[in-house]
Chain A
Amino acid sequence: MNPSTLLIPVFLPLAAGALIFLLAKAWKGSGAVLSLAATAGMLAVSALLFGKEGTAALPWAGFGLDFVCRLMPFNGFILLAVSFFAFCTALYAASSLKGKSIAPHFFGFLMLSAGFAAGAVIADHLVLLLFFWEGLLGSMYGLIAMGRKDAWRTAIKMFVIVGVSDLCMMAGIAMTGHAAGSLVMSSIHLPVEGLNTLAFLLLAIGGLAKAGSMPFHSWIPFAAEDAPLPFMAFFPGALEKLVGIYFLARLSLDLYGLQAGSWVSLLLMTVGAVTILLAVLMALIQKDYKKLLSYHAISQVGYMVLGIGTASAVGVIGGLFHMLNNALYKSGLFLTAGMVEKQAGTTDLRKLGGLGKRMPLTAAAFVVFGLSISGVPPFNGFFSKELVYDAALERHWVFYLAAVLGSFFTAASFLKLGHAAFFGPAKPEHRDVREAPWPMLLPALVIAGLCVLFGVYNTLPVHRFLAPAVGEEALAGHHVSGMPANWMLVAGTLIALAAALLNHRYGVKRSGAGLGAADHIHHAPGLSGVYDRAERQAFDPYNHWTAFVGVLSRILNAADRGVNALFDVVSVSAAKTLSAGTRRLQSGAYTAYVLWSMAGLAAAAWWMFR
C-alpha cells in the first residue's frame, strides 16, 4: 500500500465539499452527484485499506506539527464505517432533499463533515485530531443551522456545549503532551494516575460530548426537530458515536491505560448507566417519532460508555460492537422516520397510525431495527448488549441492573412507537400514502440486512473488525462471538423483554391505544412530577449554565462599564486639556518659536555643562 493512499478518504470529500460550495450557484445538482461520487470513492478506498497498516505524513504547520495519519487495526474498521454511512446518507439525501433549496449547502457541509470525521479517525497527532474535531464542530453547526427557521438556536446550543467540551479536550491535549513529551498518539502510553487523571478526564469529556452522552446531550432532541433529517441519521445516529466512542476507546486502551476497578473506571460506568436510564425514560414518553429516536440516540451511548468504562476486554469489545450496531440500527431508524415524514407529511405520533399496510417495506425495516435496538435475539443489538451485560455484572450488579432496566424501557418504547406509527387503526387522511421511493428505501433495507447479518453471523464483525483492535490475545479465554455462553444473562434479557411486552399490553389495554402504552409510567405517582419538570427542560445543564453565565456576564459588564467610564472621563479629559495647552502654545508668532528653541538649547546646555 502506498501510504499516501491513506489521505484520500480525508481529502477527497473535503475537495468535493469545496467544489460543491463553488458550484452551488452554477450547477444545482452538483451536490448530489459529487457527494455520491466522492463518498463512493471514499468507501472504495477505505475498503481497500481495511486490514492494512501504514503511516502517511505531510509537513504541516511546522514546529513539529506534522500532518500524520496512521491506519491501524484500531481505526481501520471505523474509517470503513464512516465511509459507509457517509455514502448511505449521500444516497438518501440525494432523494429526500431533491429540489430543496438547502440541498447544495447540505451536501457541501456533509462532505466537509465526512472528510473531517475520516481525518479525526485516522489522525495520529493530537493537534491534528483537534483540528479535525473542531472542523467537524463547524460543519455540524452549518448542518443544523440550515434546518428550520429557528434552527440556529439549536445550532448555537450544540456549538456551545460541544465547543466547551472541546476546550476541555484542548487542555487535556496540552497536559497529555506535557506528560508524554510527545503529541504523536502512537507514542503516548500513560497510566491514569496523579495529574494524568485530570488530563484523561478532560480528554474523555471531549469524546463523551462528541458521542452525545449525558450530560452533554441536551441539544440532540432539539436538533431532531430542527435539523434536516439526513443530518439526524448521519450525525447523532452514526457518525458522532463512531468518532466519539472511537476516541474514548482509544483513550482508555491506547493513550492511557484505564485500570479496571479504579474510580475513573467506575465514574465512566456510572455516566454510562445514568445515561442509559435517564435518556430511555425520556424517550418512553415522547409523542414524536424523531424526538423519541433522538432520546434513544443518547441512551444507547450509555451502553458503549458503560462497556468501555468496565476496562475489561469483553466490555470494550461489547462497547465497540454496540457502537457499530447502534450506528446501523439508529441511522436506519432515522431513515424510516424520514420516509414516514416524507410520505405521510408528519412525524407526530398522534397523527400517525396503521402505516404498515401502506408502507410495508418501511414497516419491515422498522421492525428489524426495533428488534435490534431492543436486543432481541438473534438481531445484532442482542449480542453486543450481552457482552456489555457480562462485563458490567463482573464489576457490580447495579450496573447490570441499570443496563437491563434500560433494555426493558427501550423495548417498551419501541413497542409503543411501532404500535402507534405502523400498526393499529389506519388514519383516514393517510389513504393515499404510498411506499417510499427506492433511493430512500434502499439504504434502509441494506442497513436492515446488515443488522440481521451482524446478529446471526456475529463472528464476522467481532473477529474481523473488533478483535484486532483490542488484540486477540486479550480476548483469549473469553467467549465473545456466537451465542452468549452465560445462559443466565440470556434468561435475564428474555425476562426483561417479556416484561416489556406484558407492560405494553397492559398499557394498551389501559389507555386503549398504542400511543398510550407508556402513559401509566408517565403518570405514575412520583414520576409524573419529575417528567413534567424534565419536559420543561428543568434538568438541562445547558440552561443552568447559560443562566449562570448570563448573571456572570451582567456583573462583568457592569464592572467593565465602570472601568470604561473611569478611562473615558479621566484619560479623555486629560488628553483634551493637554492638547488644548499645546495648541495654545502654538501661537503662530515666529519669535515665540525662536524663544522656545533657545530655551530648549539653554536647558540642554545647562544639562551638559552643569
Chain B
Amino acid sequence: MQSLLILVPLVCLMLFNLPWKRGVGQAVSFGAGLAFLAAQAAAALWAMLSGGEPFADPLAGFLVFKTSADGLTWVMLLTIAVVAASSLAVSRAAFTDEKDRFYFANLLFVSVIGMNGAALSGDLFTLYVFFEAASVASFILIAFRRGMAGLEGAFKYLVMSTVATVLMLTGVGFFMLAGAGTSFAEVRAACLQSAHPEFARVGGLAFMAGLFIKGGMVPFHGWLPDAYGTAPGPVSVLLAGIVTKATGVYGLIRLTGSVLPMMPEVQTLLMTLGIVSIYAGALAAIGQSDYKRMLAYSSISQVGYIVLALGCRTPLALAGAVFHLLNHAVFKSLLFSNAAAVESRLGHNDMNRMGGLQAQMPWSSLSAVIGLLSTAGIPPLGGFWSKVIILLALWQAGFHAAAVLALAASLLTLAYFLSMQRRVFFAKGTETGSAVTEAGAAYLWPQLALAGLTAAIGIGFPFVYRFLLTPIQQLLW
C-alpha cells in the first residue's frame, strides 16, 4: 500500500492538468485532495492500531522501487494528512479566485508527495530528493501572491535551502566515501565498521547541518520568520505545520535516531542547539508585533524542544520528540489558521492594531486560547504530555540542567502567547466595537477540528502512548 501514497497523488496531479473542458480539474481537485488526505490518515491510523497495513501493495509486482515504513513513518503520514487537509480547507476561504485555488491544490499535492516520499524512503539520497520536491513547492507557495514581501521571503528560503542542499549532498558524498551506499542500513554499517570513520562523521555533520537549516534551528533559522511571515495564510499553515517538520525535523529524527550511532559530541551539539533555539525563539517571539512572525519564532522555539529530546537519545526521549512533532503540527497549524482568519478579516498582521476582537470573533479567540495553552504545555491538552515526556526523559537520562532550562522556557512561551491573546483578542484596542465579523466557516472548522484534536490527544493520551509512541521507542538502535 505504501507506494500508493506516492503514486495516487502523482496520478491525480497529472489527471487534473489534462486539457479537460473548462473547470473540470478545478472542480475536482479540492474534493479529491480532501478524499486522498482522509484516506491517508485512515490508512496511517489503521497501520498504527493494528500494527500492519490495511492491505498489501497491489502494485508490488510491477514496481521497481522499494519503500520502507515503520512506526515513525505512520505518525508522519498521519501528521502530514491532518495538516495538509487543514491547509487545503483554509485555502478554500483564503483564495477567492478559482484558478488560485486550483494551483494551490496542485502545489499542495506536490508538497504532499514530497513529504510522503521522504517519510517512506529508507535511503538518505532519496530523502534528499523528496525534500527537494517539497521545498520547491514551498518556494512557489510562499511567493504565491507575487507581492514583493512574498517574493523576498521565497528568495531567502531558496538561498538557504540551496545551502542546505549543498550540505546534504556533501554529507551523502562523505557517507559514500566511508561505506557502501546511502541506505540507512548501509550508512549505519559504515559508521560502525568503516575504515574511514572520520568520513562518516563529516558526512553526518554536513547532512545534519543541512537539516538544521531546513528545520530552522538557531542559528540556521534566518529564512524562517521571513518565509512564514510573508506567505499567504494557508501556505503558512502548511509550511509551519508540516513542511519544515517533515523535511528538516523528520530528517534529524531519522538521522540521529536510527542512522548515526551514539556519539557524545552529537548529543551535546543537539542539546545545545535545542536549548539555544528554545530560548532564542521564545525571546524573539516576545518582541514581535506581527502575529505570524511571532508564531514563526514560536515554531523555532518548539522545534528546539524536539531537537533537545533528540540529543538525549533515549527511547523515551525519541518518543517524546516524535510526539511533540505531532502535537506541534496540530497546534501550530491551528494557530496559523487562526492568524489566517484574523488576517482575512483585518487585512494585516500587526498585533498593535488589533485588540478587542474577542467580541467580534469569539470562536477564533477560543481556538487561539486552546492552541496557545497546548503550546505552553497546559494539561490536559496534547502539548502538555509531549513536554512532560521530553522533560521526564531528560531527567531520567541525567540531563537535569537541560530539563530545568526547558521547563523554565515554558514560562516564556506562556508569556508571549498570553501577550498575543491579550493584544489580539482580549484587551481593548483599535478593533473594539469595530464592524469586523467572525471569520467564515471555512476558517473556523479547521481551527475547531484541530482544537478538538489537540484536546483529544491530551485526554486520550494512554491510547496515543500505546499505539503511537510505544512502537517508536523501538526504533532507536
Contact = CB atoms under 8 A, between A and B. Distances in A.
Pairing of A with B: yes
Interface of A: 575-576, 578-580, 582-583, 586, 588, 590, 592-594, 596-601, 604-605, 607-609
Contacts of A594: 159-160, 163, 222
A215 B235 CA distance: 70
Given A582-B284, A596-B222, A607 B412 contact: no
Contact of B156 (A583, A593, A601): A593
A607 B225 contact: no
Contacts of A600: 209, 212, 219-220
Which of B223, B269, B280, B287 has the most CB atoms of chain A within a 10 A radius of its CB?
A: B287
B415 A575 contact: yes
A594 to B, nearest CB: 6
A608 B202 CA distance: 9
Interface string B199-224: 00110010011001100000110110
Interface string B327-361: 00000000000000000000000000000000000
Given A597-B220, A600-B219, A583 B287 contact: yes
B209 A579 contact: no
B266 interface: yes
A579 B283 contact: yes
Contacts of B268: 607
Contacts of A580: 287
B200 to A, nearest CB: 12
Contacts of B201: 608-609
Interface string B261-303: 0000110110000000000100110111000000000000000
B265 A607 contact: yes
A598 B159 CA distance: 13
Most buried by A among B220, B266, B268: B220
What 8 pairs across the A-B complex have the smallest Cβ distances?
A593-B222, A579-B287, A582-B284, A596-B219, A597-B220, A600-B219, A578-B283, A590-B156
A575 B412 contact: yes
Contacts of A604: 205, 208-209, 269
Given A575-B283, A576-B287, A582-B280, A590 B415 contact: no
Given A582-B280, A590-B156, A601-B167, A608 B222 contact: no
Contact of B222 (A575, A579, A586, A609): A586
Q: Is the interface of A mostly helix, strand, loop or mixed?
A: helix
B132 interface: no
B226 interface: yes
Contacts of B284: 579, 582-583, 586
Contacts of B287: 576, 579-580, 582-583
A583 B222 CA distance: 11
Given A590-B160, A593-B223, A596-B222, 4 more contacts: A593-B222, A604-B208, A604-B269, A608-B201
Contacts of B202: 609
Contacts of B160: 590, 593-594, 597
A98 to B, nearest CB: 43
A598 B219 CA distance: 9
A597 B205 contact: no
B415 A596 contact: no
Contacts of A599: 219
A597 B412 contact: no
Interface string B308-329: 0000000000000000000000
B103 interface: no
19 contacts: A575-B415, A579-B284, A582-B280, A582-B287, A583-B288, A586-B284, A590-B156, A590-B159, A593-B160, A593-B222, A597-B160, A597-B222, A598-B163, A599-B219, A604-B269, A607-B269, A608-B201, A608-B265, A608-B266
Interface string B158-178: 011001000100000000000
Interface residues of B, number: 32
A590 B222 contact: yes
Contacts of B415: 575
Interface of B: 155-156, 159-160, 163, 167, 198, 201-202, 205, 208-209, 212-213, 219-220, 222-223, 225-226, 265-266, 268-269, 280, 283-284, 286-288, 412, 415
Nearest to A600: B219
A575 B209 contact: no
Contacts of B212: 597, 600
Contacts of B156: 590, 593
A308 to B, nearest CB: 46
* Centre residue among B280, B283, B415 by max chain A CB count within 10 A: B283
Contacts of B288: 583
Nearest to B293: A586
A295 to B, nearest CB: 50
Contacts of B283: 575, 578-579, 582
Contacts of A590: 155-156, 159-160, 222-223
Contacts of A596: 219-220, 222
A608 to B, nearest CB: 5
Contact of A597 (B198, B208, B213, B286): B213
A231 B119 CA distance: 70
Contacts of B412: 575
A177 B132 CA distance: 65
Contacts of B280: 582
Nearest to A602: B209
Given A582-B287, A593-B222, A601-B167, A608 B213 contact: no
A582 B296 CA distance: 14
Contacts of B219: 596-597, 599-600
Nearest to B157: A590
Nearest to A578: B283
A596 B160 CA distance: 11
Q: Which of A579, A582, A597, A605 has the most CB of B within 10 A?
A: A597
A601 B226 contact: no
Nearest to B412: A575
B220 A608 contact: no
Contacts of A583: 284, 287-288
A470 B175 CA distance: 88
A217 B269 CA distance: 67
A583 B285 CA distance: 9
Contacts of A575: 283, 286, 412, 415
B361 to A, nearest CB: 27
A582 B297 CA distance: 11
A575 to B, nearest CB: 6
Nearest to A587: B222
A467 B225 CA distance: 82
A445 B288 CA distance: 77
B169 to A, nearest CB: 15
A586 B156 CA distance: 12
Nearest to B266: A608
A370 B201 CA distance: 99
Contacts of B155: 590
A75 to B, nearest CB: 39
A596 to B, nearest CB: 4
Contacts of A579: 283-284, 286-287
A37 B412 CA distance: 58
